[in-house]
Amino acid sequence: MERLTGIDAGFLYMETPTLHMHTLKISIVDPTTVPGGYSFARVGEVLGERLHLLPPFRRRLVEVPGGLHHPLWVEDPDFDLAHHLHRAEIAAPGGPHQLGELISDIASRQLDRSHPLWELWVVEGIEHGHIGFVAKIHHAAADGVAAAAMLANVLDAEADPGGRPQDEADPADAGGPPQDEADAAPVAPPSRPWRPEPIPTGTERLVGALRDLLRNLATLPGLVRRTAAGLTAVVRRRRSGALSPPLPFSTPRTSFNRALTPNRWFAMASLPLEEVKAVRGAFGVTINDVVLALCAGALRRYLDERGELPERPLLAGVPVSTGSPDQPEGPRLAGNRVSNLFTSLRTDIADPVERLHAIHDVTRAAKEVQDALGPEMLVDWSEVTPPRIFSAWMRLYSRLKLADRHRPPINLVISNVPGPRQPLHIAGARLLDLYSMGPILEGIGLNITVWSYVDRLGFGLVACRETMPDIWDLADHLPDALAELRKAAQAV
């Protein structure tokens, strides 16, 4: 049993009937490598064998009376794997658009908080005889780094690795995801049988909440001092004339910067990682700079085709891990250690190379601003935010569609998570492609989440069906954006 951190609980408080705070991890596999052949029943068996390596999967929420403090995670005494495991079949011809339709439907429905906050959909009928796994996990349970570590625990380096004991997971690097899983082997059974813990009484929850709340409030004076010092440093930087990222709410408005609806619309694209690395090397930037530039180039084309390209550049929020190098090495299988930096996509610049360099410069400045503020500042403030007030405000904001009445703080979210670098298998099936879908927020109605796998970058795009019905057009512009940068790199 443990209390949710403030940032984990914040993802619960943000949720409304139109703002869903779950994430999706989508895997496409080739079942021809499965020893004995694929079956839905075998998927359930493999998942059941590995539940002890997936800590959030048997935990459910228990609220504190009166919402005095953040809820608790407890082992669910009524846990039933069958409640979380589902089977679906997509319509012919089973291509990316048909798969995207099903993923959109799965993403449009919220998770039931009376059970552990996850589902796994096994998707049959995909072209070429492939199978899809769509895992829906609430953001309160895991961020992209923790999700990558959990994914490593259901993956094998071989289709039938034999009976060697397996370490629970490889260490995570500074960016978050697991290292190469080439030495992975079958899982050993848990050291002791799983037993749920007793759920604390209302009185016990209330006493524990008061104790933890007083402990958090004792940190408030120091937090105020650190925040004031960080803000002072940022103001000095801006006054010095050094390059600084745009401020939130200095954004243009686009058709996807509206109040949300409950309906999600998902699209995906896959790009060769080697070409992205070639662009990085040619222009002396980072992989993340190139990813941002690809999104910027695709968005510029998309908006220009619709007569919507604004004069001011779009502003993106970029989630970054706040894990400290001083923390003990090992896989992080739950929770969120994430902050955000804000950077300009420089969609006002027509030349793709000039745009890439401008993104590099402003993103580097954004990192320096984040360092000045302290990457843990958002996490620390979330610990002392009153839960009931935060939740009530979010529901009111959503119900009144207030996002339609002001500029968005940012235009979209772009997340880049390095994934496995070795070919892997799920339940014996060879993993072909890996995609992720992050949440969208009120007024910030587009999320582009990028996961790498071996030699590909998988882009997962999500928006509301009503505000961005042509999201596949944006996905189709990503290869074009890479092609123009690749052509420029070859001329260097």
- Give me the pLDDT at residue 62, please: 93
Residue 436 included in any domain: no
Query: Quick one: tokens of 400?
Result: 């009144």
Q: Could you tell me if 293 and 324 lie in one domain?
A: yes
Domains identified in the chain, total number = 2
Q: How confident is the model at residue 373 (pLDDT cuts 50, 70, 90)?
A: confident
Query: What is the token pair recorded at 22?
Result: 């779950």
218 lies in a domain?
no
- Residue 487's φ and ψ, nearest 5 degrees, are -65, -40
Residue 32 vs residues 78, 404, 453: alpha-carbon distances, Å = 36, 49, 20
d(CA 250, CA 146): 32
CA separation for the pair 226, 222 (Å, rounded):
6
Q: Are residues 389 and 449 in the same domain?
A: yes
pLDDT at residue 26 is higher than 70: yes
**115 within 8 A of 60, measured Cβ to Cβ:** yes
CATH assignment at residue 270: 3.30.559.30
Q: pLDDT over 90 for what percent of the chain?
A: 55
Category of 37 on φ-ψ map: left (φ > 0), alpha (ψ -120 to 50) or beta: left
Both tokens assigned to 156: 């094998």
308 and 391 both lie in a single domain: yes
> What backbone torsions phi and psi does residue 358 show, to the nearest 5 degrees?
-65, -40
pLDDT over threshold 60, residue 451: yes
Averaged pLDDT for residues 219-247: 83
- pLDDT, residue 36, reads 83
CA 478 to each of CA 157, 267, 276, 299, 311: distance values in angstroms, whole numbers, following the listed order = 30, 12, 12, 9, 21
Report the candidate in 433, 472, 438 with the shortest Cα–Cα distance to residue 456.
Answer: 433
Last residue of a domain, one of 181, 206, 231: 206
Helix (H, G, I), strand (E, B) or coil at 93: coil
Specify whether 28 is located in the same domain as 175. yes
- 202 and 233: one domain? no
Domain range for 167 is 2-206
- Evaluate if residue 449 carries a pLDDT over 90: yes
Q: Is residue 293 part of a domain?
A: yes
Identify the CA nearest to 42 among candidates 114, 122, 106.
122
Whether residue 163 lies inside any domain: the answer is yes
User: Residues 51-60: what's their mean pLDDT?
Assistant: 89
Query: For residue 423, is it within any domain?
Result: no
Q: Which residue of the set 69, 70, 139, 357 is catalytic?
A: 139
Look at 211-220, 241-250, 430-439 and tell me which has the smallest mean pLDDT.
241-250
Concerning whether 139 is annotated as a catalytic residue, the answer is yes
Q: Which token pair is 454?
A: 């071996």
Q: Is 104 inside a domain boundary?
A: yes
Question: Is 185:162 a contact under the CB 8 Å cutoff?
Answer: yes
Same-domain check for residues 14 and 125: yes
CATH for 85: 3.30.559.10
Residue 425 within a domain: no
Specify which of 28-37, 187-196, 200-209, 345-354 reaches the highest per-range mean pLDDT. 345-354
pLDDT at 76: 92
User: Which of 177, 206, 235 delimits the end of a domain?
Assistant: 206
Q: What is the pLDDT of residues 297-329, one digit of tens each?
A: 999 999 999 999 999 999 999 988 765 444 444
Same structural domain, 181 and 235: no
Q: In this structure, are 387 and 312 located in the same domain? A: yes
Q: Strand 412-417 to strand 446-453: parallel, antiparallel, or no bridges (unpaired)?
A: parallel
Same domain, 23 and 151: yes
- Segment 68-87 mean pLDDT: 92
Provide the pLDDT for residue 335: 58
CA distance 123 to 22: 19
Region of residue 20 (left: phi > 0; alpha: psi -120 to 50; beta: else) = beta
Mean pLDDT taken over the chain: 86
Q: Does the structure show a pLDDT above 80 at 171?
A: no
245 plus 324 within the same structural domain: yes
Which of 407-416, 427-436, 443-452 comes out lowest in average pLDDT? 427-436
- The rounded percent of the chain whose pLDDT value lies above 70 is 88
Q: Is residue 434 part of a domain?
A: no
Give the residue from 171, 206, 241 where a domain finishes.
206
Written as six digits, the tokens of 339 are 């902050």
Statement to judge: residues 6 and 127 lie in one domain? yes
Q: How confident is the model at residue 213 (pLDDT cuts 50, 70, 90)?
A: confident
Instruction: Assign 219 a pLDDT band (cuts: 50, 70, 90).
Output: confident
Apex CA 346: angle with CA 252 and CA 321, to 5°?
A: 95
| Cα separation values, 58 from 11, 55, 74, 195, 231, Å | 19, 6, 8, 10, 41
Does 107 share its domain with 249?
no
Q: With bands split at pLDDT 50, 70 and 90, how would you rate the model's confidence at 56?
A: confident
| pLDDT value, residue 329 | 41
